[in-house]
A = this chain, B = another copy of it.
Amino acid sequence: MFDKIINKNDFTSLIKDGMVIMVGGFLGCGTPETLIDLVLASGAKNLTLICNDTSFVDRGVGRLVAAKQAAKVITSHIGTNPETGKQMVEGTLNVELVPQGTLAERIRCAGAGLGGVLTPTGVGTVVEEGKQKITVDGHEYLLELPLRADLAIINGSSVDKAGNVVYNATTRNFNPLMAMAASVVVVEAEKLVEPGALMPELVMTPGPLVTHIFKSEKR
């Protein structure tokens, strides 16, 4: 009835050079590793990656950086992946550093149809460069703008065939936010179940947000 399950070829055909991809996860926890394998195998170039951090050279989204498939990364932390810093210094990778809470809100804005959000974070630092400052009630805020993507690849602990996603423990992180902010959303399902098998209060990503479901091949 829902017809959302795709195979490797279907997923690979979604990947294009130069596209903007959001990747769920926090230092590799809650990252769709099989989908990253497939982006690697696709050889797509000049990607813009939006992700909390660039993980490690051999894990999560960090592998795409290490494989030099990204032209730009929008992220809050690159310290755990020496490749990111190296390519940045060499001038082959454009790195836009965004405070983590601001990154979350900017992605949420895009998903929630909001035009932007005022945050106190970054006022008085280099983060305010080029941004509109708005004073409310005597306090200065930065206007931070929405961040959206062509494709979001997220990781679901349990996914039903209608696309509802449950995230275990700290695998949640950016996954439910990204699932709202991209034109196409693919969830890597660690466990795939029938509709009705998930407790409806536990679902963090409602099914209609998920375009495609891919059954994980994680070990």
Contacts and interface: CB of A to CB of B under 8 A. Distances in A.
Contacts of A200: 169
Given A166-B201, A168-B201, A118 B115 contact: yes
Contacts of A145: 136-137
A141 interface: yes
A202 B167 CA distance: 10
A201 B167 contact: yes
Given A143-B134, A169-B200, A202-B201, A118 B120 contact: no
Interface of A: 105, 109, 112-120, 134, 136-137, 139, 141, 143, 145, 166-169, 172, 199-202
A116 B169 CA distance: 30
Nearest to A135: B115
Given A169-B201, A201-B167, A136 B118 contact: no
Contact of A136 (B116, B141, B169): B116
24 contacts: A105-B112, A109-B117, A113-B119, A114-B117, A114-B118, A115-B118, A115-B119, A115-B120, A116-B117, A116-B118, A116-B134, A116-B136, A116-B141, A117-B118, A118-B143, A134-B143, A136-B145, A137-B145, A166-B201, A167-B201, A168-B201, A169-B201, A201-B202, A202-B202
